[in-house]
Every structure is written in C-alpha cells, then in structure tokens.
Chain A
Amino acid sequence: MPAWIPICSVDDILPLGSRRVARPKGLPVALFRDAGHQVHALLDRCPHKGGPLSQGLVMDDAVACPLHNWVIQFSDGRARAPDEGGTPVFACKVEQGQVYLDADELATLALDLTAPLAGPCQRLHAAA
C-alpha cells in the first residue's frame, strides 16, 4: 500500500503547468497538471542532460525539457522517439482536489541521480 501524503491542492498548479516538490534527499520531484485535473509526477531530471523537467512546457501527456526540447511522457517517463532514455515515474493521485505522493517513494526512489553542474564549481570538481 502506498503511504500517500498530501502535497498541495490541484489548484496550486496551473492547468498545463508544473511545480517542484523538494525532497530531504535526492533531486526534486516534478508535478505536471494536464488541461483538466489530472496530475503526473516524474523525477525532475531529463534523461538527456539532466535538465529540470519541471521548467518545461507541459503538453497533454508529456513535457518538453527546457534544455534541448526532448519530450518525456508522463505515463512511463520515457523519451519520445527518436530520442531514447527515461526518468523515474512517481506514484501520484488526486482525491477531492488534493494531490498526494507516496512518502516511501519520496524517501527512497532515485536518490542516486544527481543534477548537472555549471559554472566555476565544475573546475573544482574536475580538479578533485
């Protein structure tokens, strides 16, 4: 049984919009709302170059990554062909206008995946 915990109201997300959910450990989870009241959740990380999917343009059943326009499907987290790869999908449900995620997944899923680096810290990273 998923350990559902409330995250926000559906109306906290614009139709065809998105929000980020911070996690104590691991990258954030991105919530996407379709044109109606359905909400989907993916790890906030594009399988291509790690772009934050929560910042992408939301379509009916997929999101276009803000970095290089890869299209990631909500249903299975897979990139739309011809691109290849996928990002973890999080269980998500909406009940009476409330959005829920699974606390166990938030605490344990995809903790090893990291965000890309930019700026001077890359040089330090390369030297280390």
Chain B
Amino acid sequence: MNLSDTPQGLRQKLVVVGNGMAGVRAVEELLKLAPDLYDITIFGAEPHPNYNRILLSPVLAGEQTIDQIILNPLSWYAEQGITLHTGHTVVHIDRVTRQVHARTPDGGLMQVPYDRLLLATGSLPFIPPMPGNKLQGVIAYRDIADTQAMIDAAARYQHAVVIGGGLLGLEAANGLMLRGMQVTVVHLAPWLMERQLDDTAGKMLQQALESRGLKFMLGAQTQQLVGGPDGRVLAVQFKDGSEIPADLVVMAAGIRPNTTLAESCGVHVNRGIVVSDTLQTITDPRIYAVGECAAHRGIAYGLVAPLFEQGKVCATHLAQFGIGRYTGSLTSTKLKVTGIDLFSAGQFQGGEGTEQIVMSDPASGVYKKLVIQGDKLVGACLYGDTVDGSWYFKLLRDGRPIGDIRDKLMFGESNIGDVGHQGHNKAAAMADSDEVCGCNGVNKGSICKAIRDKGLFTLEDVRKHTKASASCGSCTGLVEQLLMVTAGGDYSAAPRKKALCGCTDASHEEVRAAIRQPLADGSKLLTVGGVFSHLGWRTPNGCSSCRPAVNYYLISTWPKEARDDPQSRLINERSHANIQKDGSYSVIPRMWGGETTAAELRRIADVVDKYQIPTVKVTGGQRIDLLGVKKEDLVNVWRDIGMPSGHAYAKALRTVKTCVGSEWCRMGTQDSTQMGKDLERAMWRMYAPHKVKFAVSGCPRNCAEAGIKDVGIIGVDSGWEMYVAGNGGIKTEVAHFFTKLKTAEEVLEYTGAFCELYRQEGWYLERTVHFVNRVGLDYVKRRILDDHDGRQALWAQLQFALDGEPDPWFEFDKAAVDTRQFIPLQPA
C-alpha cells in the first residue's frame, strides 16, 4: 500500500500535547516525510499559534512585535489539515484506551483518541518558595502573557525587581529598563550568569549593564515579598532586613521540565520525561517526547537547535522509517541583549588538570579565555568579541589536537590564514550592504532577509538558502551572530557528529571505517550499492554528495579490487574534461614539470584551428588550457593533441609547478625541473579526496611558489626541504615545514607517503590543509617521519594503486569511459 494515498479516516491518529517550537517543528518534519500518514491534533495551553519563544526578549525590549514572532499562523494549521485546540489544557492521558482528556477554554471536557502521542509540554518557570510570591505584580517570564504583563506594568509603574541574574533574568531586566522602569537585578551568586561566565566576564557584563542603567544586588538573599493593602507587591525584603521598593517582581530563577502530565499517567520521569535515542519514552513506545520536557541521556535541553535535532529524529520514527538516532548535542551560550556580545562553551571555568590562555583588554571591553586540557581545547569564554566563538566551538566539539596552532589560537581563525570576512567581528555593527560572505558574495541585508522571510533557525538552513558561509566557512561566526540578532537562534548547538549527507546518518569517518572493515564472512564492501545497503542508506541510490564520496572511499581503500563507478562521479571525472558555464569543456594536456616542445605546441595550435577552439590560456599551474571545446569534439581533440590527460578536471594530482632550476638558472642549487618531472610521472593518475598540487623550486628564492601547495619542495645546497598542506585558494595558508631530505629518491618516497596517508584518511572534498588541520601536523609527522616502516608501506601502497592505471583520454575501456556520452542521439 502506498502510504501517501491513505484516505482520511483510515489514517493513524497523532496527538501532540504542546503547541510550542519543539512539538510543531517535529510535526513539520513529519509532514515533509509522510504528509498523509496521520490525522494530527495539536493541543496548546496558550491561546496563540506557535511563536518563537526565544524572541520574547526583543518583544519586551520593543524591538519586535508579537506578530513578527509568530512562526506558524493559524492558516498554516488549516492548510496542513491539522486540528488545533488552543487554550485547551490536557489534564489526563489514558494509556489503556489511548485517549487524551483535555479541558476546553469554557471549562468543559473533551476526549481525543491517539495511536501515537507526542509530548512537547516544555518547561515551567521555577518560583522560589517565599512568602508573598503569589501577590499581584509577581510574575514569571515564560510566555506571551508574561511578556504582555511586563509591558503593561512598565507603562504604569516605576520600580521593577528581577530575581535571578541568569540569561532570562538579564534579558527581562534589559527589556523593562528600555521600557522606562528602574530595574534592580537580585542575584544569589557572586557574579552574573555564573553558570555561563567566569567571574571576570561576569563582572565586565555587569559593568556594561550598569552603564546602561541597571542596578545589581549580588549575593543577596531574598527573605520575602511585601504586599500593600491592595494585594499588590510593594517591596522586596532581604535576609538582613533591608528592603527595596518593587511594583513588579519578575521571577527568573530558572526553569523546570513540565512533566506533571507524563507523571500522572505513569510515564517515567527523572528530571524530564526519560526518552531513548529515538525520542520514545522508555515507558510506552507509543508515546514520544521532545523539547524542554524531555530528558535524553540525563539532559533536558533548553536551546532551539537540540530541540530541532530531536524533532527531526522523532519525525523519522513517526514516519515509520525507523532510522535516525539522536545522540545528544553540545551547547553554547549567548545573551540576547543588543550590543552585548558574549559566548561560552564547555569547561569555561577551567579546573584541575587544565591550563588557561587569557587575553584581557578592559579598556576596549574585550576578554577571552580559552581552557586547554592536554592538547585539546575544552572550554571557551568570550566577552566583547565573539566572532571566533563558532570556531572555538568547532575545535571543542571535534576534539582536534591544537598543539600545532596553540600559539595562534587566541587570535582567532583569521590569524591562521583565513580571509573572507574582511576583519569584521561585530555583525550588528555592519551595514546591510556590507559583504558577510566573500566567497559567495552575500551581504548582511540578504542574509537577514532570508532568515526573516523563510523562518530560518540554523546555520545549515542559512547556508542552504543564501550560500553564506557555505564555502570556506570563515564567516560562520558572523552568520551565526546574524542568526542570533535576527531569529534568536542558538545556532552553535550542534549534533556531536556530522552526517555525510541527507541520505544517511553515518559520518565520513564511519563510512571509511565500514569500508575498511571486512564483513563477517570475510568479504569486503566493494560497490557503492553494497555500502549503501550495508549502512542502511535512506535513498536507494544516494545523491550527488554521497555517491562520489563513497566511490572515492572504495577505490582508495581497495585499489584493484573495488571497481570505479563512473556513474557515481561528477561530470568532469566522467567526461575527463572541465565543464564550463555554457556546457562546453576545457582541455588541459599534461606537460611533465611544465616543460613542452615545439612538436607539442604545433599539435596544440593545429587542434585549436581545426576545432575552432575560442580561447587558449596559460594556467596558474604552468599548463595550457583550451577553453570552449564542444563535448562532441573531446575524443578527437585528445587524439589529435596526442598528450596525456592533465587531470585538471579531477580530484587528483593536477600539476607539478617548477622553476627552471640548476640546469639553466645561475642561482639554482638543485635540478627542480627534473625533480618536478619525476614527481609528476610517479604520481599522475592519483585520485585523492580533492585536487592535489605540487611545486618544486630549485633554490630558496622559491620561484615556483612552493609555499602554497599541497606538497612544496624547495632545493637547498644540501638537499631538499619539504613543505606540506599549503593552500592558495579560498583559504590561503602557508605550507608547514615538514622535513629536510637529502636525495631525489627520498623526495619521492616522503611525498608519496604523505599523499597516500591523505588518500586513505582524508575525507572526500577535504583539501590537505583541512586534513592536516583536522588530524594535526604532529600526527602526520608521527606517521611519515617517525615511523619508517609505515612510511615505506604507504609509499608502496600508492605505487601499487597507481601501477597500470589507465590514461582516460586514450584507454577508454580500462578507464570505464562511456564514449556514447560524447555523441548526441538523433531522433529517427
């Protein structure tokens, strides 16, 4: 039976308790996967449709209106065929008969049956037990009604007291102050936001907020709230007997998962409704829970990104796909007070066995602390300049060794060779026309517009819609700041591992490992389809992201055994030429070491005339590029030129750029041209995770620009210096000095071993610069420099893989080139 054709009435019944961001997001994800599987009913206690709760602070501050923060208008529910009951409180769940009992706004009772139940009841504010906490004018800060009550109070009263100097309390205080009230924040701990900031950053934050007019009482213990004869709060009294006036008291002492309903029907609760990795309650598999009410592996998340992540996984199970696991999120913190930038993540307080790198510049209001344990970054606390927050967060999450960049760590990603965002570090201060993403030419205005118009919440969403930060990623911090300012997304919460693409939950690492590991019966995974079925791919035949990656992993792991699948390669590697914007191709013949002859040049010239090739250009890698070749002509052009493929279209060894060297140059110390030719002949046809470029210079003047190549070799009087992982592209990075070598044989061996390590352990589309950044230069040195047998084995493996590899311009059968592609079909 085709599920999408299930007629109404025969469908299963899904009831959602909670009309907030987590529950509705899960429903949205479900509708994407299986639009007609369920009749859906949603109960919401508030009278509103789903709105963006995180943006209540900007509403309170008068920067946005309620209408602007509505995420799903009532019309959306109608269009999706969802029955929405706003203002209804669910009072009982009968798990035996599978009925939900709810109280209607007029006090009546109603029952709705369910097949599947999703609890998304969110959280409740914690009201400290103290005398007077039920007085008029004492409110929590949780929903639209609270926000409206504060706005109304601000219009009529003067003195506000906020109890709690955490994230929510400070946002409330800031909003009330902007609405003209005199606000005092009462906080038990010795500094503000003590769970997110260390004392220095907390005090800097306090100063900044004081200069805006907020008052603080830290370490203050509230005794009781004093009421007036009219029943409204009048003052806050402390343990020492002192009092301060208060016409409005906002309780912001924390939140608790709202689990009353779940408990009442016997669903296990422990600091939240306990759920498995599939977001099913451990008590009743028909009942799911997502969002702030759910406790996953002991954690109840209060940030948006984890909730959305949960919603996505929950939806795949509701849709009966039975795939996807939620394995938890790492979170970080930011404050939504305009003009104040702070960021913290991980063990920002430090602690035993940790070291700290601290930069403090109080005059300019900047403070940064990085916490390091062993050779890993384990925590960060930033105040005043948070643009590198996302980078630190990534280092923290990936657990990458930072030994080799430790000295530059404090100065941010832009100091390890990154350009792209032109040094901006405060997105809020940028003009709409300022460019945020230099790679894709996206300015601030268009990013903010997309976030608002399309309702984007996550970095991934913004990348998909605007392409901003989707290339080199160096503007990620700015884009995240924009998300924060515009949508309030707590963007930097991220799943612990990144899936290869939407077709799977497996990461690059897991796919590589699965391919390397022989199966139980001793056989190997050798085909793309085999990998897909072994790892439970969601799509039968993958997509343009995973198929090329998996094909590469197969042929690099099992050379001579796994067969290359041209249909899993992108067009350039299928047609062995580089597609241009008009659908024509460019052809770059191989010229060993960049040296050519009159005969070759004559043949090239004749081909240009014969096939009327419009453009001939010398490339940056010292080769000749013929541009605008028709696909029909490719085979003949290759044949007539009679030179090997230059692989300038492939994720493979491209050119070896050389200087003239000692054969001619009066400065030359080594024969760099010969060295370049030898390297190129030894390693051409080498497929790799991404393109690979070498250069060889004959002396330290380095005319071949070896410092920005994947492998750069520089001749010195006593031999050769080897540099690795340089890059001249989007992320300009100077290559690291790797080692000094004596002979040309050693240059071949060490270069080959480095390339083979990259081929075996790099992730598809990861350049050597990113590979070495990920695994650390120290690791590469251990594998290549310290482990002599290992190095020789790697070099032997590369030679084995390349032995007998065909030239795809001539050996069509062996290279599996489907020549039919070159000739268009003619209808009869």
Residues of A that sit less than 8 Å from B by CB? 5-8, 12, 14-17, 19-23, 28, 31, 35, 49-52, 55-60, 64, 66-67, 69, 71, 82, 101, 103, 106, 115-121
Give chain A nearest CB distance to B286 CB in angstroms: 32
Q: How far is the CB of A20 from chain B (nearest CB, A)?
A: 4
User: B827 near A106 (CB under 8 angstroms)?
Assistant: yes
Q: Verify A57–B579 contact, CB threshold 8 A.
A: no
Q: Given contacts A82-B465, A116-B582, A118-B580, is CB(A57)–CB(B827) below 8 Å?
A: no
Q: Are B464 and A8 in contact (CB under 8 A)?
A: no
B64 within 8 A of A: no
Query: Quick check: B825 and A22 within 8 Å, CB to CB?
Result: yes
The listed residue (B542, B571, B615) touching A55 by CB distance below 8 A is B571
Instruction: Please report which residues of chain B, range 417-454, place their CB below 8 angstroms from some CB of chain A when the two chains form the complex.
Output: 454
Q: How far is the CA of A19 from the CA of B615 in the complex (A)?
A: 27
Binds A, one of B3-11, B173-181, B222-230, B816-824: B816-824
Let me know if B582 and A56 touch, CB within 8 A: no
Q: Is the CB of A55 within 8 A of B579?
A: yes
The distance from the CB of B246 to the nearest CB of chain A, in whole angstroms, is 48
Q: Are B825 and A55 in contact (CB under 8 A)?
A: no
By a CB distance below 8 angstroms, the chain B residues around A20 are: 824-825
B533 at interface by CB-CB < 8 Å: no
Contacts of B826 in A (CB 8 A): 21-22
In the bound assembly, the distance between CA atoms of A7 and B571 in angstroms comes to 23
Across the interface, do A14 and B818 meet the contact criterion of CB distance under 8 Å?
yes
In residues 534-583 of chain B, which contact A (Cβ within 8 Å)?
A: 539-544, 547-548, 567-572, 575, 579-583
Q: Is the interface of A mostly helix, strand, loop or mixed?
A: loop
* Closest residue of B by beta carbon distance from A45: B583
Identify which of B541, B567, B581 contacts A118 (C-beta below 8 A): B581
Residues of A within 8 A of B659 (CB): none
A-B contact pairs, 23 of them (CB 8 A): A6-B827, A8-B825, A12-B820, A14-B567, A14-B818, A19-B821, A20-B824, A22-B825, A35-B540, A51-B583, A55-B575, A55-B579, A57-B547, A57-B548, A57-B569, A66-B572, A71-B544, A82-B454, A115-B582, A116-B581, A116-B583, A118-B580, A118-B627
When chains A and B are docked, how far (Å) is the Cα of A101 from the Cα of B614? Answer: 34
The residue from A21, A69, A119 contacting B825, defined by CB atoms under 8 A apart:
A21
**A15 near B614 (CB under 8 angstroms)?**
no
Q: Is B1 an interface residue (CB 8 A)?
A: no
Measured in the bound complex, the distance between the Cα atoms of B821 and A19 in whole Å is 6
B828 at the interface (CB under 8 A from A): yes
CA distance A79 to B540 in the complex (A): 20
| Distance, CA A38 to CA B628, complexed state (A) | 33
B824-A21 in contact (CB<8A): yes
Give B310 Cβ to nearest chain A Cβ, in Å. Answer: 22
Closest to B570 in A: A57
A58 CB, nearest partner CB in chain B, Å: 7
Contacting pair A59 B579 (CB below 8 A): no
For A60, the chain B residues whose CB sits under 8 A away are 539-541
**Are A121 and B614 also in contact (CB < 8 A) when A59-B544, A71-B544 are?**
yes
Q: Which residues of B contact A82 (CB under 8 A)?
A: 454, 464-465
The docked-state distance in angstroms from the alpha carbon of A116 to that of B628 is: 12
Asked if B584 is at the interface (CB within 8 A of a chain A CB), the reply is: yes
- The residue that B581 contacts in the complex, of A49, A101, A121, with Cβ under 8 A, is A49
Shortest CB distance A48–B (Å): 11
Which of B539, B568, B821 has the most A CB atoms < 10 Å from its CB? B821
Give B513 Cβ to nearest chain A Cβ, in Å. Answer: 25
Kindly state the separation between the CA atoms of A55 and B824 in the bound complex, as whole angstroms.
12
Contact in complex: A21, B571 (CB < 8 Å): no
CA distance A31 to B51 in the complex (A): 46
Q: How far is the CB of B459 from the nearest CB of chain A, in Å?
A: 14
Closest chain A residue, CB of each to CB of B572? A66
Q: Complex: how many Å from CA A10 to CA B454?
A: 42
Determine the chain B residues whose CB is within 8 A of the CB of A117 once the complex forms: 582
Nearest CB of A to B543, in Å? 6
What 6 A-B pairs are tightest by C-beta distance, nearest first?
A64-B544, A118-B582, A52-B583, A66-B571, A22-B824, A57-B544
Separation in Å of the A79 CB from the closest CB of chain B? Answer: 12
Q: Are B614 and A120 in touch, CB under 8 angstroms?
A: yes
Look across to chain A and name the residue whose beta carbon is closest to the beta carbon of B822. A20
CB <8 Å contact, A12 and B544: no
Q: Looking at the complex, which one of B615, B821, B827, B828 makes contact with A120 (CB distance below 8 Å)?
A: B615
Q: Are B820 and A119 in contact (CB under 8 A)?
A: no
A108–B542 alpha-carbon span in the complex (Å) = 35
Q: Look across to chain B and name the residue whose beta carbon is closest to the beta carbon of A101.
A: B827
Smallest CB separation, A90 vs chain B (Å): 12
Contact A15 to B828, CB < 8 A, known contacts A57-B547, A67-B581, A119-B628: no
A119 and B570 contact, Cβ closer than 8 Å, known pairs A6-B828, A19-B821, A59-B541: no
Residues of B within 8 A of A118 (CB): 580-582, 584, 627-628
Query: Closest CB-CB distance, B625 to chain A, in whole Å?
Result: 12
Of chain A, the residue at the smallest CB distance from B585 is A55
For B467, the closest partner residue in chain A by CB is: A68
11 new A-B contacts, CB < 8 A, other than A22-B826, A103-B827, are A12-B820, A16-B567, A20-B825, A21-B826, A57-B547, A57-B568, A60-B540, A67-B581, A106-B827, A118-B580, A118-B627
* CB pair A55 B583 closer than 8 Å: yes
Residue of B nearest to A23 (CB): B827
A5 CA / B825 CA spacing, docked (Å)? 13
User: Please, how many angstroms separate the alpha-carbon atoms of A82 and B541 in the complex?
Assistant: 22
Which residues in A have their C-beta under 8 angstroms from that of B539? 59-60
In whole Å, how far is B337's beta carbon from the nearest beta carbon of chain A?
A: 31
The distance from the CB of A51 to the nearest CB of chain B, in whole angstroms, is 7
Give the distance to chain A from B412, nearest Cβ to Cβ, in Å: 30
Give the Cβ gap from B439 to chain A, nearest Cβ, in Å. Answer: 13
Q: Mark B250-294, 1 if CB is under 8 A from A, else 0.
A: 000000000000000000000000000000000000000000000
Complex interface: chain A residues within 8 A of B827 (CB)? 5-7, 21-23, 101, 103, 106
Chain B residues with Cβ under 8 A from A7's Cβ? 825, 827-828
Complex Cα spacing A67 to B580, Å: 8
